[in-house]
Amino acid sequence: MGRILLAALAGALAMFIWGFVAWTVIHLRTPETFKGEGAVAAAINYGAAESGVYAIPGDPGTKDKESSEYKTFEKNYESGPIAMVIVRKQGAKLFDWLVFLKGYGVMLLACLIVAIMISEIRIKLALNRVLFCAAIGLVVAIHADGSNWAWFWYPMDWTLMAHVDRVVAWTLAGTAMAPLLSEKRLRRT
């Protein structure tokens, strides 16, 4: 189990470094900025009672398609705008070490699961272990980012860059984990 944990730590570190490069160096994905950001922030502050995920148009509160609430929702949905906004009322430090720690923890858990899978199915060639991880990244991208594109109107360019981000992250994680997950090394632990 020690070798598997070491592989997961290395894979998560590779993903973490890639995330830094992708977001801060090459700006693989950059969210748009609202015009009149102060006014939009004030409207969000006014309209959002607490931190959470909000949608425009909001839930009509009924499934009765004949009700006036539902008809108003449908009209607003069809005329736009449509938005989903994540609101954190209290703000946050720009570079909070706890956020980085939580992010690394999520990556570590994901890499640990994949490292266990690789060790259980005994993928013999290192290249195949890397390709297995790349495939995991592609599956995650198609499901998570593809779902956001399909259901929540994420733009195609954002979705494709998210796919690139996830596949590269998992390929790098696989590259870091592969040498530590060889059958020979696993037998020694």
> Containing domain of residue 113, as a range?
2-30+95-188
pLDDT at 37: 94
Domains of the chain: total: 1
In a domain, 104, yes or no: yes
In a domain, 72, yes or no: no
In a domain, 168, yes or no: yes
Would you give per-residue pLDDT tens digits along the chain (189 residues)? 899 999 999 999 999 999 999 999 999 998 999 999 999 999 999 999 999 999 999 999 999 999 999 999 999 999 999 999 999 999 899 889 999 999 999 999 999 999 999 999 989 899 999 999 999 999 999 999 999 999 999 999 999 999 999 999 999 999 999 999 987 655 555
Residue pointed to by tokens 């995991």: 136
| Closest to 90 (Cα-Cα) out of 140, 150, 48 | 48
In a domain, 148, yes or no: yes
In a domain, 88, yes or no: no
In a domain, 68, yes or no: no
| pTM for the whole structure | 0.87
| CB contact set of 35 (below 8 Å; sequence gap of 6+) | none
For residues 168 and 156, what is the distance between their CA atoms, to the nearest angstrom?
A: 18
In a domain, 136, yes or no: yes
pLDDT at 1: 81
In a domain, 120, yes or no: yes
pLDDT at 183: 74
